[in-house]
Amino acid sequence: LVEGAAESAAALKRDEDTRHAAFQLTCAFCFIHAAGISVVAVNYARRSKAKYPSGGPSTATWCCGFCSLVLSLAFAGMMLMVAVPLSDACWFWRHDLLTHAGIQDYHRQLGLVDPTTPQRDMDPLAVGAFRSCFAGNGSGDLLGALGLRGKLDFQERFEALFIELEDKSDSRTVDTAKFELLVSRAQSFGGLFLLDPEDSLPLEPSSAERMLGSSLEPDDRE
């Protein structure tokens, strides 16, 4: 969903630029007709010495007025054809689909299914993560929705164990078995994380566009 929105952003911007250009051209034609051709035709008829002035300027004014009316109605009609489906789609997304119950009801259409089951039943983890991110009352706690909040909350435990390790190192008493276990675990898992790094590692350029301002911690919600 995020990748599709990012890919369609350029197309939506191009369509919006086209709509804005068509609107400006229509307004410019109507302005030229009202302020230019019509004024010239009226001044010509008023200043003419002939009993029956030529109808050329008036005919041109009527023709330009007809073209202005047709362009305006055509532009308004096309905008109406686009606005009505979009407004219905936005209403459906906001009040039916992206709700707590709507995400569960339309889980098959959203692809929130468990591929390991033959019936392709609903995947509770996927539905919970989708609710936390896209529902109007979502908490934004993606780690909590995936059940990873407690498993990844190891900072306090590490700090307590390091304090304990420092106390034991000061007392010069260390259990050999636990020391060897600590060394082996550090060699196995030491490259997976950094404790309070001084210089944070840069984010991959290809991944930065997909983040879209997301974070591991949910924003405060009232």
Helix orientation angle between 38-47 and 56-92, rounded to the nearest 10 degrees:
160
Task: Please list, in sequence order, all residues whose beta carbon lies within 8 angstroms of the beta carbon of residue 2, skipping any fewer than 6 positions away.
Answer: 210, 212
> For the chain, how long is the longest CA-to-CA vector?
122
pLDDT digits (tens, 9 = 90+) for 178-200: 777 777 877 777 666 555 555 66
pLDDT digits (tens, 9 = 90+) for 78-107: 888 888 888 888 888 888 888 888 888 888
- With a cut of 60, say whether residue 134 has pLDDT above it: yes
What integer pLDDT is reported at residue 218 of this predicted model?
45
What integer pLDDT is reported at residue 8 of this predicted model?
74
Helix orientation angle between 2-32 and 56-92, rounded to the nearest 10 degrees:
160
Within the chain, residue ranges assigned H as helices are 2-32, 38-47, 56-92, 100-105, 107-110, 124-134, 142-145, 155-171, 176-189, 205-211
**pTM summary value:** 0.46
DSSP secondary-structure letter at 122?
A: B
What integer pLDDT is reported at residue 9 of this predicted model?
75
- 69 compared with 138, residue with greater pLDDT: 69
* Residue 130 burial (10 A CB sphere; 0-12, 13-18, 19+): buried
- 126 compared with 173, residue with greater pLDDT: 126
What integer pLDDT is reported at residue 165 of this predicted model?
72
Q: What percent of the chain has pLDDT over 90?
A: 0
Per-chain mean pLDDT for the chain: 75
How would residue 216 be classed by pLDDT, with cut points 50, 70 and 90?
Answer: very low
